[in-house]
Amino acid sequence: MKRIHFCMLVFLGLVGGVFGEMVEDFDGSSLVASWWGGDSTPPYVYTLGFANTQHVHSGSASLRVDFNKANDVNLYSFLSAGGYFNLRNYDYLSFWVYNTGTPLRIKVRLEQVGSPTNAWETDWAAIYPALTTTQADWENICVDLTRAFFGHSHGDIDMTRIGQIMLIVEPGDGAKSGTFWIDDVMVTRAPNGAPLDPFESDSYGWSAGGVFTNPALPVLTTEHFQNSGGPADLGQRSLKIVWTNKSAGYDNFIYTPCHDTNAPAGRIGTYTNFTLYSNTLISLWVKSTTDNHFPILLKLTGSKGTNDLNVYPQYYDGGG
């Protein structure tokens, strides 16, 4: 049985505009008007420690969060970054979290300015952000904002007028307590400032044929992933591909760039002009646990199966 992990699909260009923005780095660069907790009377669920230097992802400070869910009256209390954010221009909201190594879930909720019932939550799109490492370390939480395209286009929420970015720690739990640190809250946009697909949410837009066809695959996994901490390195998952007994044929798996009718023109889901923004390269991270040498052929196909272009095979030469 063969296994490979695709970590991210990235388009790289020579020229770029504003494809990423720091929302909060806790070192003075901030678009946040205020951080606040949803519980108004003590004992509080969340205690916030600003300018903390104990654990820092970049710069000199981070936000320390002590939480005690035993004080949570409705089990869904939140801490929030309040302001006025246009998230329609971006594809991903990400932030770094330092945790002690215990499992930790963080639901993200976005609320519209002046209309909190116009909202979007990660679990509505089957996105369940969580910290997975079993040792104390920094992890990157990545929220795929493209999954809010549907809500925006159907009037559920205006993503150009977001007033609250809310974090609900261990939603539904009434007992857990602990401490974690937050740093480098960012928004980024594909293709130049972020991956076209970091495989954090689902495999939307992907399909497979031949030996790669399997009802249970492909799947997203945390077994292996690539993230070096840069602006184009998001999340902690990869797309896992498994197959057996492949012949010398051309069985393949496919990414269909135009797969989301709710996406704005030129954005993820409708991104079909690969030369947009002066792109010149396609980069793909690959990891195999069974092989250390095999070819990967990239084929670009026109909308009607015409004007095919085969890119010369590239070889995976990793050490397993």
3-state secondary structure of 8: strand
Q: Total structural domains in the chain?
A: 2
CB count in 10 Å sphere of residue 242 = 16
Asked if 86 and 112 sit in the same domain, the reply is yes
For 277, the domain range is 2-15+193-316
Asked if 131 and 210 sit in the same domain, the reply is no
Q: Which residue, of 146, 166, 188, is where some domain finishes?
A: 188
Q: Which pLDDT tens digit goes with each residue over 133-157? A: 888 999 999 999 999 999 999 999 9
Asked if 166 and 218 sit in the same domain, the reply is no
Consecutive H or E run containing 177? strand 177-188
Q: Tell me which amino acid residue 187 is.
A: V
Asked if 133 and 172 sit in the same domain, the reply is yes
Measure the CA–CA gap between 25 and 27, rounded to whole angstroms: 5
Lowest mean pLDDT among 10-24, 61-75, 139-153: 10-24
Asked if 248 and 276 sit in the same domain, the reply is yes
φ, ψ of residue 52 in degrees (nearest 5): -80, 135
Q: Which pLDDT tens digit goes with each residue over 167-218? A: 999 999 999 999 999 999 999 988 877 888 888 888 888 888 788 776 555 6
Asked if 55 and 178 sit in the same domain, the reply is yes
Measure the CA–CA gap between 19 and 165, rounded to whole angstroms: 20
- The CA–CA distances, whole Å, from 89 to 19, 92, 131, 148, 183 equal 9, 10, 27, 12, 22
Q: Which pLDDT tens digit goes with each residue over 270-306? A: 988 887 777 777 888 888 888 888 888 888 887 655 6
Asked if 242 and 269 sit in the same domain, the reply is yes
Asked if 32 and 74 sit in the same domain, the reply is yes
Asked if 154 and 277 sit in the same domain, the reply is no
Asked if 152 and 214 sit in the same domain, the reply is no
Asked if 130 and 243 sit in the same domain, the reply is no
Q: Which residue, of 188, 207, 235, is where some domain finishes?
A: 188
Read off the CATH number of the domain in which 124 is found.
2.60.120.260
Sign of the CA dihedral running 261, 266, 268, 270: positive
Task: pLDDT band for 13, please (50, 70, 90 cuts).
Answer: very low
Q: Which residue, of 143, 163, 188, is where some domain finishes?
A: 188
